[in-house]
Structure 1
Amino acid sequence: MKKIFALLLTLAMVLSLAACGGDSTETTEETTEDTQTEETTDSTGTADFTTVEEGKLIMSTNAAFPPYEMTDDSGAVVGIDADIAAAIAEKLGLELQIDDMDFDSALLAVQQGKSDIVMAGVSITDDRLLVMDFTDSYATGVQVVIVKEGSDVTMDNLGEKMIGTQRGTTGYIYASDTPENGGYGEDHVVAYDNGITAVQALMNGQVDCVIIDNGPAQEFVAANAGLTILETPWVEEQYSIGVNKGNTALLDAVNGALNELIADGTVQSIIDSYITAE
């Protein structure tokens, strides 16, 4: 009888231990699942990216490209790009700081880690892709040719004329390329620090025409009597936001905010406020 009682007692202890072991396994699995959820949440949060200066989104630009960027009477940079950048910064919980400089320097500022983004009517080229990463496009740019009224300049004889462009822009890059690649050669192209200076050179007879984006072109023609724009567009391209090469976290954050602003109509509303449909 004692043997039977001892056997039953042993069996009860084994079953008890087995039950405790099952509870321990479930607790471990639940703890593991909770930990994995927390890690996933942390890894996908917007706090992963860093900026040049904590709490700020620094944008480099060339504020001589109206209506995308220009200065108001107080000297502040305003325009399509400035407003879009401000909306992006707000979505990211950052304060926008805009640094105005010449176009080449604006591109270099991002590459050298002096600014977080560059917006200046920037289009994507193969050379720029080597040193910068880009967001999705937010606007379409049409390059046109400004001439004096009564000029004999046409799309067919541009290669015989002197062309003014803004230094570092795709207008300069494409126009100064060799004829074999669709350009007119460096001998036929003069690069200026900004579009305003290029248009002044046209007014002074130093060049025969100016190749520039249609938005600024319309502004320059409206402000300077005696200028007109050739009817046929010269080239069409897409504008994007540039960030330093390999800065994937910032690129994803900016691109995500940009696409939200495109989807809810904010970007188009900003563009429409500066460019009235003809």
Structure 2
Amino acid sequence: MTFGTIFAQEGTKADEKDATYEKIVKRGYIVLGTSPDYAPYEFQTTSNGKSKDVGMDISIAKDIADDLGVKLKIKNMDFDSLLVALQTGKVDMVLSGMNPSAARRKSVDFSDIYYKGGQSIIINKKDSRIYKDKSSFENKKIAAQTGSIQYNLAKKQIKGATVSGIEKGTDLILALQTNKVDGVVMEKPTAEAYASNNSGIKVINGGFELNDDETSTAVAMPKNSPVLQKKINGTIAKINSKNLIPQYLKEAGTYLKGNTANTSMLHYWKYFAMGVGYTILISLVGVIFGFITGTLLALLRLSNSKILRMISTAYVEFVRGTPLMVQLMFVYFGLGLFVNLPALTAGMIAVSLNSGAYIAEVIRGGINSVDGGQLEAAESLGLNKKDRMRYVIMPQALKNIWPALGNEFISLIKESSIVSIIGVTDLIYQLKIVQSDTYRGVAPIVVAMILYFIMTYSLSRLLKFYERKFN
């Protein structure tokens, strides 16, 4: 059956083009982008020892996939990365409690509205007498999710307030409970979900002046996706006609109760174990390929060729002069326009390339630290340049650079946590998920700190053992 036939059957103009829809039908699955830390819209729960995404948005996404006749694949990442992922083809649609604001409509298309809520403010219960609505927060500290409608509302409508953008809902609640902020602006259903599972906080009516876009939730999709938009709107119409939204919210509430039935960190040991495994894998790959890249760059910088020296110097200076987060986003989203790299692969590439630049300088310094007499002695023995470097210079340089290399390797374990922003399930990513599932802010952080310390301390002991061997 041709695409033209499919379009005709569905009441769509045969000459109407939609590359996104054609791609989805051809490969047999649709990719959903979401940030699973926003109950009851989307969050994670444990079923039969495995983590899965649940919530109202996930139920709607499943309905959309079923109506399209394809499978649903879910890609998790930070909220403020979702629209970038949509624009670069990493995902086909976004359901993440997203409001279809005018600014967002310039970049992506939206479906019809599938849910209307409101905007609330969460406060500590002990402050109930102080805060009543948004006017109570003038010249106070308030927080909202980065890149959200709530953040913009707080900036525009709360006079004199210092507004902080924080990526994760769990971190917002933690900031409130530790008195870093006085209140948190959050969508009403999500605010109520947090309050129902935390006796120390309370939800108040924000009293914001709202238009339809600021109280509504819709499905985001790439620009110029008319067929996909019609299909999704058809699913939303069916959901509304059957009044399924209350049922989906009720199911989400059941999962929430299950998550909070046992919030011990031991219960979530598999999450942390998986996070440690991915952290070690990314760090190990980064170390190996970083060392290879660094060695090559160091040798190029010490070569007699001016062009090779310039290339090596330019690479090292550029990588060291830009943040790893920006490099990661470029590899995953920028290169993603040409090559569809999985998040884990993109993370390992970015970490390896970044590490290589720093290791290059360490190795270059180690080579330059070898006494010049050693080179002269090697030349007097008739060794060529390759053999001089291999048998005389590098063995001595390695001894000199080993402590600095060790520090770079240890730093790599900690710095690799940045890959969590694109949805790689490393230790930091799993920490956020456990916080979201259990509504406990501090305990998962303590567990992650201990696990990072164990990894870095073990590596430190191993490096010192080999350092003694060299001596």
Smaller-chain TM-score bracket: 0.7 to 0.9
Give the one of 116, 126, 148 matched to 1:140: 116
CA deviations on 1:125-153 (whole Å, 9 max, x unpaired) are: 11101001111111112110111113112
Unaligned runs of 5+ in 2: 13-17, 255-471
Native 8 Å contact 1:166 1:172 kept in 2? yes
Are residues 1:240 and 2:218 paired?
yes
Partner of residue 61 from structure 2, selected from 85, 104, 115: 85
Change (3 A) 1:134 1:231: closer
Work out which of the residue numbers 23, 29, 34 in structure 2 matches 1:56.
Answer: 29
Which consecutive unaligned segments of at least 5 residues does structure 1 have?
1-37
Q: How does 1:4-153 map to 2 (within 5 A)?
A: 43-46=7-10, 49-51=21-23, 54-73=27-46, 74-151=50-127, 152-153=130-131
Paired residue total: 234
Which residue of the partner structure matches residue 201 of structure 1? Answer: 175
The structural deviation recorded for 1:88 is 1.3
| Alpha-carbon offset, residue 166 of structure 1 | 0.8
Quick one: distance in 2 between partners of 1:150 and 1:267? 34
Q: More displaced, 129-138 or 70-79?
A: 70-79
Q: Aligned letter for 2:104? A: R
For 2:7 and 2:22, the matched residues in 1 are separated by: 14
Query: Quick check: which has more Rg, 1 or 2?
Result: 1
- Partner SS, residue 118 of structure 2: strand
- Partners of 2:137 and 2:158 within 8 A in 1: no
Change (3 A) 1:233 1:195: farther
Report how far residue 207 of structure 1 moved.
0.2
Q: Which amino acid letter does the alignment assign opposite residue 210 of structure 1?
A: V
Match of 1:227 in 2: 201
Asked whether the equivalents of residues 138 and 262 of structure 1 are also in contact (C-alpha less than 8 Å), the reply is: yes
Contact 1:163 1:208 in 2 (8 A): yes
Percent identity of equivalent pairs:
26
Distance in 1 of aligned mates of 2:169 and 2:4: 48
Matched residue SS, 1:75: strand
Contact 2:141–2:182 under 8 Å retained in 1? yes
Structure 1 contact 69–82 (Cα < 8 Å) conserved:
yes
Amino acid at match of 1:92: L
- 1:258 matched to 2:236? The reply is yes
C-alpha separation in 1, matches of 2:249 and 2:173 = 24
Match of 2:380 in 1: none
Choose from 143, 152, 155 the match for 1:176.
155
Deviation at 1:261, TM superposition (A): 2.3
**Which of 161-170 and 52-61 deviates more?**
52-61
Q: 1:7 is matched with which residue?
A: none
Aligned partner letter, 1:45: Q
Q: Structure 2 residue aligned with 1:190, among 158, 164, 171?
A: 164
- CA drift at 1:39: 11
Other structure's SS at 1:160 match: coil
The alignment partner of 1:65 has SS state of coil
Residue 217 of structure 1 corresponds to 191
Against the structure 1 CA distance between its residues 188 and 249, is the aligned structure 2 distance closer, same or farther, given a 3 Å change threshold?
same
Deviations 1:4-44 (A, max 9, x none): xxxxxxxxxxxxxxxxxxxxxxxxxxxxxxxxxx9985542
Structure 2 CA distance for partners of 1:240 and 1:146, relative to 1, 3 Å: same
Name the residue aligned to 1:25: none
TM-score, scaled to structure 1: 0.77
**Distance in 2 between residues matched to 1:132 and 1:264, nearest whole Å:** 28
Q: Which digits, 9 at most, give the CA deviation of each residue in 1:47-70, with x for residues without a partner?
A: 973245711111101100001100
Q: Which has the higher contact order (CA 8 A, sep 6+)?
A: 1
Q: Taking structure 1 as reference, are residues 99 and 87 closer, same or farther at Cα in structure 2, changes over 3 Å only?
A: same
Decide whether the 8 Å contact of 1:262 with 1:268 is kept in 2: no
* Contact residue 132 and residue 205 of structure 2 kept, 8 A: no
- 1:264 Cα deviation after fit: 2.6
Q: Secondary structure at the match of 2:117?
A: strand
Partners in 1 of 2:38 and 2:31 — Cα distance? Answer: 19
Pair 1:200–1:169, CA change in 2 (3 A): same
CA-based RMSD of the aligned residues comes to 2.5
Q: CA separation in 1, counterparts of 2:228 and 2:158?
A: 35
Structure with higher strand content: 1
Secondary structure of 1:64's match? coil
- The 3 A distance-change label for structure 1 pair 231 and 104 is closer
Match of 2:455 in 1: none
Partners of 2:249 and 2:196 lie apart in 1 by 19
